Structure 1
């Protein structure tokens, strides 16, 4: 890879913005492909959204976290992961605003999304548990890191079981939108769609590397803390595919895909911390971060709990035509971001 450290600050900003544009533009096509594959594979929008769309759109974020961790910037790496989850959860509130018929969490009822939100809370709580324990590391990797990966895989298996044989079924209302209401009409063969998705993932991953490298350099040159850069700059930029794909999915009427893509992407983003621990050669990455980064863990837990409450309650209309959970999600994210910026 070329050495970009010698570039001017203006050029770095230009690269940062250009990578953001690439990530945002390609996200729209990724949503359409994922929607088509959900119907053709029979796995369902919520599960495909969490696995294929969630992981695919998160590729830029994991590249950013791993590359910055390998470069010796644990704060930027972990805050990028948690900031990305917070931003993506907030995007659901924006999607709720865009979907004017009814509260999005009411229309996109899915037992799979409920199950995955619970797993996400577990995955975010585990690194806090690691932080509170002695800084043990085997070959530079904390023992909790493989547990985090195992928890993710068990969560996917659990979601598949819930989709295949649900023990809880949401009550259908006139405003509930089922996957059958969104027929697939893409003319391309399944193999073409799969390879196209893989190609888009590769390009988005390269853009994520550019975001991570430029973000690290800009943090030093502009005198901004790595936590702020990670949680509010690189996290938002690498989360742009989720914003674009969620909006595109809502417009297509694939509501379960939209919600599942965010929750599944958040589950995958929780693995950024595990991958960053492997890449970070200074010992346990859980013990290399400050309380400011832990603040974002707490924000993510709160936002996920609020989202889960909204998915369970399924309020039809709230203030401004959106659900109360959306109001709370926006308030939590804006409040957390404002506090971090104020602290510098």
Structure 2
């Protein structure tokens, strides 16, 4: 890692300040993305997945690639998978905020369900890479090439389902439809795009600082890489998804909130492909230190998204504590999973 010769408290300070910038930028990202969705007519599902999902994923991309370039393969993998796990669990907190009905009931759409299915497919490819033989094609593992091909198919299918859906979830009194805000067609496009880009650049730079400081903290403490990468670094670089998701729910843009998280998760899986290209010592999936903990973290992430999909399909209106059963299960799986990971060496 790039070490600025700071003491431990200095690295912790850099980490916290960078995380704060990421969080503040996330609030503006949600606002600009929601207004752009209305102004351009793209809709919240596609805007959340591609536009907002990509931009809020930038800190994680910077963190994973930086870690891989500097030889921290476990950090790169843990940041990507831990980010997906954290961001999926964010929907449970958003569910708590939306008191009228279960979030997955109110925001259900064919596009969101297809996106979640495709995400499960991509995470399964990562799991295949971790359990397959250590071979490379050029300088990367074949799983990375499968990830890129699978991502292309996933984006195409999600777009087709959004543009030409063959069925729709039944609308109820609790369903919140994606409707443009009044007066949205009079917004200045260049101002919206400028605000979105500036906020995105701030998150990108802050993501690099988070990666560097997290690596330095790991070097100076006894904390394991999966905990540093999968919990601390992933949590910090996932702050945009947390903030934008909660801000979108507060604005009433429920489809944008769910699509932002699922879209961000799409790009987080691709961090692993980017990190494999950046890792110059062979296959990222079989680098020194990568093993059972990373397989468990990936499996936890896969399970969280299966639970989310079940909630989107079942569409429970009210559950325990006025949130859906899937939110309760996601919180239980997430926190139990990281407790188990913390005891693995």
Deviates more, 1:146-155 or 1:171-180: 146-155
Encode CA deviations 1:260-311: one digit per residue, 9 max, x unaligned.
Answer: 1001111110001100000001101111221101111100111000000000
Alignment of 1:192 onto 2:202: no
In the superposition, relative to structure 1, how do residues 114 and 3 fare at CA in structure 2: closer, same or farther (>3 Å)?
A: closer
The residue that corresponds to 2:333 in the other structure is: 332
TM-score w.r.t. structure 2 length? 0.96
TM-score w.r.t. structure 1 length? 0.96
Alignment of 1:171 onto 2:170: yes
* Poorly superposed stretches of 4+, deviation over 3 Å: 2-5, 181-188
Alignment of 1:105-254 (within 5 A): 105-180=104-179, 182-183=181-182, 185=184, 188-254=187-253
Encode CA deviations 1:50-72: one digit per residue, 9 max, x unaligned.
Answer: 11111110100010000001100
Deviates more, 1:97-106 or 1:134-143: 134-143
In the alignment, structure 1 segments of 5+ residues that lack a partner are none
Encode CA deviations 1:1-36: one digit per residue, 9 max, x unaligned.
Answer: x95341111111100000000000000000011111
User: Structure 2: how far apart are the matches of 1:37 and 1:99?
Assistant: 23
User: Structure 1: how far apart are the matches of 2:18 and 2:143?
Assistant: 33
Tell me the CA shift for residue 188 of structure 1.
4.4
The residue that corresponds to 1:40 in the other structure is: 39
Deviates more, 1:13-22 or 1:177-186: 177-186
In the alignment, structure 2 segments of 5+ residues that lack a partner are none
In the superposition, relative to structure 1, how do residues 168 and 72 fare at CA in structure 2: closer, same or farther (>3 Å)?
A: same
Q: Secondary structure at the match of 1:134?
A: coil
User: Structure 2: how far apart are the matches of 1:130 and 1:18?
Assistant: 35
User: Structure 1: how far apart are the matches of 2:146 and 2:15?
Assistant: 34
The answer to whether the 8 Å contact 2:130/2:285 transfers is yes
Tell me the CA shift for residue 326 of structure 1.
0.3
The residue that corresponds to 1:85 in the other structure is: 84
Tell me the CA shift for residue 225 of structure 1.
1.0
User: Structure 1: how far apart are the matches of 2:175 and 2:267?
Assistant: 27
Tell me the CA shift for residue 143 of structure 1.
2.3
Deviates more, 1:122-131 or 1:133-142: 133-142
